Amino acid sequence: MLKKSFALTAIVLTFAVSVLAQNPNRSTPAPTPTPAPTETAPATETDKPATRARRAPAATAATTTARANQAISPAARAVRGVFETLLDGIREADVEKVMSVYWNSPQLLIFNNNGTVTKSWEQVKANRASLYPNVKNVELEVRDMRVQLSGRDTAIVTALWRQAQDYKGTPETSTGRMTLVFRLINNGWKVVHTHTSPEAPDPSRLPPSDKREPETPPAKPE
């Protein structure tokens, strides 16, 4: 009986195998290959997004002027204003405007362009009142002006000047240097001393040690 069971089981298995072998539409799916990992190259400088550097705004003339004005102290600005009043008075041959700038004191001291010395406010005013009626068409140019403050109540102004005018109908021109000492007196800046000198002094009045040697042009190469 047991042998018959084994025989029957073998026949069934053989039949099943033959059926599977004869079915052409049935196939075992091939395994899907696993893709090999790919290496990613590290990012280079060219892979990074470009960053544009911001340019600083160009300085304009107005910006430069504004910065220059901010650098000037209120005291220096006030001294410049008084100095401009003096220049305008000379251009206009206005005795009162000029004398309003000077210290009204017997101690006022002026070293003049011609080498003379004038003392006291009264004498300076008298000299201006005598000169100005004979002066016309005054042109006064000032350059390289500098204001140097010394403490809270003293300032020194230096400048180069050129003045052209008609004196008694005759044109004349002179150039030179000037130094003015200002003092803060009664809350106002006043000129207490001036020193004016010609740009090219008379050589005959100079000692030998101060005379300039004539410049020798450099020798030309042969």
Per residue in 158-209, pLDDT tens? 999 999 999 999 999 999 999 999 999 999 999 999 999 998 877 777 777 7
Residue 8: inside a domain, yes or no? no
Residue 161: inside a domain, yes or no? yes
Mean pLDDT of 114-140: 97
Q: Which of 162, 146, 144 is nearest to 199 (CA)?
A: 162
**Confidence class of residue 60 from pLDDT cuts 50, 70 and 90?**
low
Q: Does residue 20 have a pLDDT over 50?
A: no
Return the CATH number at 114: 3.10.450.50
Work out how many domains the chain is built from and give that number.
1
Mean pLDDT of 115-124: 97
Residues 6+ apart with CB under 8 A from 181: 154, 155, 156, 191, 192, 193, 194
| Cα separation, 194 vs 198, whole angstroms | 13
| Cα separation, 152 vs 187, whole angstroms | 11
Q: What is the DSSP letter of 205?
A: G
Residue 213: inside a domain, yes or no? no
Residue 142: inside a domain, yes or no? yes
The fraction of the chain above a pLDDT of 90, given in percent, is: 57
**Confidence class of residue 70 from pLDDT cuts 50, 70 and 90?**
low
The residue among 144 and 27 whose pLDDT is bigger is 144
Residues 6+ apart with CB under 8 A from 207: none
The whole-model pTM stands at 0.63
Residue-number span of the structural domain to which 114 is assigned: 72-201
